[in-house]
A and B are shown apart, each in its own frame.
Chain A
């Protein structure tokens, strides 16, 4: 065909039969939880731009809380409408799943975020600066630490109320992450919630250099892991010719319908599948903090403002495990004989390293970071079960764990000395004698972390280990129980430290929080105890939500 003829044909084709691009079909109602949260985030940006400074804080807190509550209400409405079970399906042209696990995890994330907002909004713990109550966040994020600009910002009483819309954006991404039903949506959700987290990490009011260092490390390593993920996605696309989960699963199972001729040479090439799958797993394992992709965790948990650490530790884990579950159960079940042994190894290493390294930690926040690594290992044990029981046990564990974590970090914000939060463990000696209430509450959280009966930690751990054992992973359970024993050692050591050691002469004092942090801690304790004493309703709920839509 000559050049002219080609050009002509283009003209005529477009003139003859203008091909319609079909309008995407979006089920707005079913996506409402995410849309509400992202909408509230946009409103927050507008508020930040147009409201006078003094109004921003109350408006932002209210807007954020209402947005999250409304999102939760939407999740409940969807679940009540049967979208968790019978009406579960894939919405938004195959991009987002609306099913039991998605709704359960979204509900958990929204509740966790709602409580995290309370700790974000706390303004009574830090001493009043220049006549204004301040929160845990830097006066002006862009000001150089220790520079003149910072001093002026502090003097002027600036506060970074932007954290609230940033938090909402992160939550929006987290809501999509476990529901993402194709790899590109997965990637975008990952970035949507990661970028706000990097920013939040950098915003500590005290020890700003540590905070900024944490943020940079988190960003660099996060970007690195995103590259792995993206590369994995590319390889999987090459393997299957599609990025939708169902499409890849079809190719894996050999029930593929049509093969794109352009990709005929690579479609079905198992090397692409295996390498691509492994790389995508790497990206997700980074987010859950599994060994050996865990090394950012202690540094970031320590450097980030404690309310952010609490939120991140709780909500990120929920979202990332949700995505991991969906990937392994929907895309790669046909491949389980390949990935299960590998995941066994990851789970074992994660449990052991998390528990063992925590033993010698001297900082509360780093201790909790390693504890979160160990817990990631325990949850992985449930993930590997590859059974509906495995899914529901992981769902329950995530819900239980996230509330304990939030509560524990909220308690950490209370124990302060002249330099801000006193996170060195040595300073916590004898805390139980000075502030028995706070120490007792922290002890409850530690016991829950350790998995002592009558706390949610026991119920959750029992559920995942049971599922793992029934799935044939008995050695994994043995390692898990042994790691739990090691972990119990350092949790209980903190309790011993608080209650049975003499208080230090110039030890920290416990600040009296406002109703915000008190409420956050109270909810944490209540959930921990209720899920420990009467878990059946919630186990049933998680059990009903244990089936993925395809």
Chain B
């Protein structure tokens, strides 16, 4: 059974190799090869899942040691896999949603010239992401971490002929590098502290290390998570990443890759549990980001960017939950899974709308689409209800638990965090209702595209609607399934541990409060967009709205502080390089050259001079020898 774990990663890797190296002769079957191998991977995951279910709750860990990569002295880098409940959850999410999105892409990317390459990259992403969650040590995890970064870069910039896409890819890559540095430093710290990278020894002996060291490792891991999961202050790339094809936004930048930070923190729970300061940093980042993303989501007219803000915000919830420690780990992952369903579904719906609307993304040019695209409307609507936490749907269960856990933190902290989470829920209801109304309700505000073609909205082909339907089903039922009898809690508890906090509010009170803010948010959006006509060009808005449209000035901030500062620093370095370094180098070279031509003159071609040199040399040699004896 253990051997299947390697195959799980190998299947999409094989797909990537075949598709990227196969050449043009594959051009007619490429999308099916990619989808098939993703499905194979999912099937293997299902088999392994069944196997794990057959075991005792405490013994559900499979390990598979492939080979020792770099055994040098005390340094051991192994290629080894570990499949436990946590990684199993991710495997099913990644391969399941991944397969659906491959299928969706069959329709979505049908007429793209470079389709083979697209599926190759998608398969590469799957392989890297599986490697990330299946690795048995931090070093191999890092390989997967970089792998998904690469795939993300390639896919954001997939339409590289568009300068905006190329820039967005570069931006994502650069911002992620900052986070990656954090991870590599964390791994180095681990090695110097524990002498190993493997999860087992590091996590079981975490408490042996001093708290200071653990805090340092924790903060570095948090930095890594911020980069990959688009959390403040490394959030700026996610909005631009929507330049990639929509299936990519759904799979990588909503359902899976961006949640890698949550995985990292949950996996390293033992380190964070022993480093309260690092945990405080984590919850702060989570709370700030969940509000930040939500506010940005309210102001965006680009449907994908609005959803991207929402993603940021929802991951903020997960990070917040993960930062709460054992109280929150399970709910972080649970929200991650339900979010994977409904956010992927929402993105696919958005893609379907764009598909029907000549690739228009401005919601102010949509309107009244519910009758033209019924399947998209229904599936998107179910996703909408799930994300705002409509009672009974997935988001209701998972988000509610996080808000509860936030209050359970206790003290002032608990009130602040719980309040932020509640506020976030209200804003979520507001911006998602806004998206829903602008897109599917109201009058038609369709505009001809740049070539003058009027849109003729139509329902998307089967390959696209089937995945949307499946994801909608997940959005509706996953949360309930997980919560009945605490199924998910019992499943994950052996890995992450669980503790009940003591909330100042009872579960009923929290649910009631959530319902109230939900209704408020929806009502506000309805009042603003549902009652009257919506202007096609956005009104100027107040300062907050304008700032939110510019992603709360994150790029301006980065530009002034980092870009300008970096440019100044670079200029200074270049100057120093020219004058100091080059000066030294060229000066040395000139000095050597000068010395050389002077010494050359001694070589005058006369044997008599050479003989004198020898004679003098002999005299010096003898004198020196005698002197040495005398001293």
**Are A and B interaction partners?**
yes
Q: Which A residues have a C-beta under 8 Å from some C-beta of B?
A: 216-217, 220-221, 224-225, 228, 270-271, 274-275, 277-279, 281-282, 286, 291-293, 295-296, 298-299, 337-339, 341-342, 345-346, 353, 356-360, 486, 489
Interface flag for B595 (CB, 8 Å): yes
| Complex-state Cα separation, A295 to B613, whole angstroms | 8
- Looking at the complex, which of B8-16, B17-25, B251-259, B619-627 is the stretch in contact with chain A? B619-627
Note all chain A residues with C-beta closer than 8 A to B595.
Answer: 356
**B610 contacts A221, C-beta separation under 8 Å:** yes
Chain A, Cβ-Cβ closest to B623:
A278
| Complex-state Cα separation, A225 to B615, whole angstroms | 9
- Looking at the complex, which of B192-200, B405-413, B525-533, B597-605 is the stretch in contact with chain A? B597-605
Note all chain A residues with C-beta closer than 8 A to B621.
Answer: 278, 281-282, 342, 346
Q: List 8 A-B contacts (CB under 8 A).
A: A220-B611, A221-B611, A282-B618, A292-B620, A293-B613, A339-B628, A359-B592, A486-B592
Note all chain B residues with C-beta closer than 8 A to A282.
Answer: 614, 617-618, 621
Chain A, Cβ-Cβ closest to B604:
A295
**B614 contacts A357, C-beta separation under 8 Å:** no
Say whether, besides A216-B607, A224-B611, A356-B596, A274 and B626 are in contact (CB < 8 Å). Answer: yes
**A224 contacts B603, C-beta separation under 8 Å:** no
Note all chain A residues with C-beta closer than 8 A to B28.
Answer: none
CB contact between A299 and one of B602, B605, B620 (< 8 Å): that residue: B605
| Complex-state Cα separation, A417 to B430, whole angstroms | 86
Q: Which B residues have a C-beta under 8 Å from some C-beta of A?
A: 589, 592-593, 595-597, 599-600, 602-603, 605, 607, 609-611, 613-614, 616-618, 620-622, 624-626, 628-629
| Interface hub of B593, B603, B621 (most chain A Cβ within 10 A) | B621
**A298 contacts B592, C-beta separation under 8 Å:** no
**A292 contacts B613, C-beta separation under 8 Å:** yes
**B622 contacts A274, C-beta separation under 8 Å:** yes
Chain A, Cβ-Cβ closest to B609:
A295
Say whether, besides A293-B614, A299-B605, A346-B621, A357 and B599 are in contact (CB < 8 Å). Answer: yes
Min distance, Cβ A333 to any Cβ of chain B, angstroms: 15
Note all chain B residues with C-beta closer than 8 A to A345.
Answer: 624
Say whether, besides A293-B614, A295-B603, A274 and B593 are in contact (CB < 8 Å). Answer: no
**B599 contacts A275, C-beta separation under 8 Å:** no
Note all chain A residues with C-beta closer than 8 A to B596.
Answer: 356-360
CB contact between A293 and one of B592, B593, B617, B626 (< 8 Å): that residue: B617
| Complex-state Cα separation, A346 to B626, whole angstroms | 15
Note all chain A residues with C-beta closer than 8 A to B626.
Answer: 271, 274-275
Say whether, besides A277-B625, A282-B621, A221 and B603 are in contact (CB < 8 Å). Answer: no
CB contact between B628 and one of A221, A341, A360, A486 (< 8 Å): that residue: A341
CB contact between A341 and one of B589, B611, B613, B624 (< 8 Å): that residue: B624
Say whether, besides A220-B611, A292-B616, A357 and B603 are in contact (CB < 8 Å). Answer: yes
For the A-B complex with A228-B618, A270-B629 known, give 19 more contacts whose Cβ atoms are closer than 8 Å: A217-B607, A228-B614, A274-B629, A275-B626, A277-B625, A295-B602, A295-B603, A296-B610, A337-B628, A338-B629, A339-B628, A341-B624, A342-B625, A356-B599, A357-B596, A357-B599, A357-B600, A360-B593, A486-B592
| B interface majority secondary structure | helix
Say whether, besides A278-B618, A359-B592, A339 and B600 are in contact (CB < 8 Å). Answer: no
**A292 contacts B625, C-beta separation under 8 Å:** no
Note all chain A residues with C-beta closer than 8 A to B605.
Answer: 299
**B592 contacts A356, C-beta separation under 8 Å:** yes
| Complex-state Cα separation, A346 to B605, whole angstroms | 23
**B592 contacts A220, C-beta separation under 8 Å:** no
Min distance, Cβ B623 to any Cβ of chain A, angstroms: 9
**A286 contacts B614, C-beta separation under 8 Å:** yes
Chain B, Cβ-Cβ closest to A486:
B592
Note all chain A residues with C-beta closer than 8 A to B603.
Answer: 295, 298-299, 357
| Complex-state Cα separation, A298 to B593, whole angstroms | 18
**A353 contacts B599, C-beta separation under 8 Å:** yes
| Complex-state Cα separation, A339 to B627, whole angstroms | 11
| Complex-state Cα separation, A228 to B614, whole angstroms | 10
CB contact between B593 and one of A221, A292, A359 (< 8 Å): that residue: A359
**A278 contacts B625, C-beta separation under 8 Å:** yes
| Complex-state Cα separation, A220 to B608, whole angstroms | 9
CB contact between B614 and one of A277, A278, A292, A341 (< 8 Å): that residue: A292
Note all chain A residues with C-beta closer than 8 A to B597.
Answer: 360
Note all chain B residues with C-beta closer than 8 A to A293.
Answer: 613-614, 617-618
Note all chain B residues with C-beta closer than 8 A to A271.
Answer: 626
| Complex-state Cα separation, A465 to B593, whole angstroms | 26
CB contact between A274 and one of B589, B610, B613, B625 (< 8 Å): that residue: B625
Note all chain B residues with C-beta closer than 8 A to A360.
Answer: 593, 596-597, 600
| Complex-state Cα separation, A278 to B627, whole angstroms | 12
Chain A, Cβ-Cβ closest to B591:
A356
Chain B, Cβ-Cβ closest to A353:
B599
Note all chain A residues with C-beta closer than 8 A to B602.
Answer: 295
Min distance, Cβ A295 to any Cβ of chain B, angstroms: 4
Chain B, Cβ-Cβ closest to A275:
B622
Note all chain B residues with C-beta closer than 8 A to A489.
Answer: 589, 592
